[in-house]
Amino acid sequence: MLRRIVGIETEFGITSVGGEGARSLGADEIARYLFRPVVERWRSSNVFLENGSRLYLDVGSHPEYATAECDGLRQLVAHDRAGERIVDDLGLCAEQSLAAEGIDANVYLFKNNTDTVGNSYGCHENYLLDRATQVRSIGTTLLPFLVSRQLYCGAGKILPGTPPGLGLDQAPGPTFCFSQRAEHMWDGVSSATTRSRPLINTRDEPHADSTRFRRMHVIVGDSNMIETTTLLKIATTRLVLEMLEAGVELRPMAVAHPVRAIREISRDLTGTRPVTMTDGTTMNALEIQREFLAAVHRYLDTGGWERDDRVVVNQCVALWERVLDAVESGDHDSIAADIDWAAKLRLIRQVQDRTGVDLDHPRLAQIDLTYHDIRPGRGLHSVLERRGLVSRVVDDAEVEHARAVAPETTRAALRGRFITAAREAGRDHTVDWVHLKVTDGALPTVALTDPFADEDPRVDDLISALGR
């Protein structure tokens, strides 16, 4: 499947800080203010927007934004960034509502994966697969890739000492690690999502024609701020999937204990800590990633096919190799413009060099958190971006377009057209990933079972009938 539908679901952390003497607001109360304009407009806190995306309030008072179906890498990056701006707009509206009621409070939304009391919330990736592809069968091969890809797609985190369990070495003090999510995964491949948090979720929920498609749900990734990190996370995973589907031979690599391995790799910035394989041998994260990188090079060199985003893919493969070289050499600053954990680590080291504080200092904890603040001009990532210190994949105009317009090359275009037309006609409607329905039942429900189809005469007829 060289043309592949991909989407990203992001759960945002939420809190507020009040002025002196102001009462404290809980996350659930902030969330109610946050989603007040959504409920007023749609009478629900679970809605699909004109750009084809889904916006809703998830368990634990976490705003969640799921991009529309995308089949291009740049397209997906633009729609992921559009989600940040849509959610931040809700934060601004919430602050105005609070102020109108005499409540002095600033709303903070974080695109990260952990809070201060140890809870974790996710960034999930969805990859459309052919029905013939068995998720469990490719899972054994994918697991070593997923546990080691944090070398380039981790968001970085100050870990306050190594917690007990899993037989890991106990660290006496805080350490900087690659990934925020690694400490919260408890299974390799499973149908559960919250109870055991597997790296790969096997629940058979394709949101499409189940005789043709299945969906691979990856819940192990960190939420990323730098566009090139997001691009690299998706591009490398998509390439590995294509390669496996094409039958490219790989050196046998099966991790004996994936959960232990992902934690061990996260805590070792050298990428050289040995990970035990099922055959009794050991490999480190760099070795695992270089095996996959070499196989992808062989796959791309076979030729015989063309793709619209081949230039972007080549750039991603070059960055992939450059990041592995930087981890191996220890020259982390050389990738600080492209990779989240390296950008955050550089900020932390700059403060340490000036002040001499240890990793457990509150000022560094603030940097760790504020890096993920999505408010332009307030979040550290946005400050770096404004100063040209981190890389971009798309420009602001593309992000603004993605806020309003659904991807034009997938079924999201049909969903976006219907939602826009129903709103303009004043017709109540119900939408999910597959179905378009007018609530009063006066018109037939249309099921969009092919995620690749961006044209459908049934949708044209439905939209035409809306204004009658």
User: CA 149 to CA 155: how far, in whole Å?
Assistant: 12
> What's the one-letter identity of residue 286?
L
Give the Cβ contact number of residue 408 at 10 Å: 11
User: CA 290 to CA 297: how far, in whole Å?
Assistant: 10
Q: Tokens 């469990």 label which residue?
A: 136
Collapsing DSSP to helix, strand or coil, 6 comes out as: strand
Structure tokens at 12: 């945002």
Cβ burial of 390 (10 Å; 0-12, 13-18, 19+) is: buried
> What's the one-letter identity of residue 339?
I
Catalytic residue among 58, 104, 187, 450: 58
**Residue 385 Cα distances to 86, 231, 323, 339, angstroms:** 18, 16, 20, 13
Question: Based on C-alpha coordinates, what's the Rg of the chain?
Answer: 22
Handedness of CA 110, 114, 116, 117 (dihedral sign): positive
In 224-360, which ranges are continuous DSSP H helix?
A: 227-245, 258-266, 285-301, 310-329, 340-355
Please say whether the beta carbons of 30 and 94 come within 8 A.
yes
Examine the residue annotation and report whether 58 is marked as an active-site residue of this protein: yes
* Residue 10 annotated as binding site: no
* Residue 29 annotated as binding site: no
In 184-280, which ranges are continuous DSSP H helix?
A: 227-245, 258-266
**Residue 14 Cα distances to 48, 123, 340, 371, 464, angstroms:** 21, 15, 20, 14, 41
Please give the DSSP secondary-structure letter assigned to residue 62: E
Give the Cβ contact number of residue 384 at 10 Å: 20
User: CA 276 to CA 399: how far, in whole Å?
Assistant: 43
* Residue 64 annotated as binding site: yes
* Residue 67 annotated as binding site: yes
* Residue 131 annotated as binding site: no
Give the Cβ contact number of residue 245 at 10 Å: 16
Torsion of CA 177, 178, 184, 189, to 10 degrees: -140
* Residue 236 annotated as binding site: no
Give the Cβ contact number of residue 404 at 10 Å: 13
Annotated binding-site residues read: 9, 54, 56, 64, 67, 433
Annotated binding-site residues for ATP read: 54, 67, 433
Active-site residues, by number, are: 58
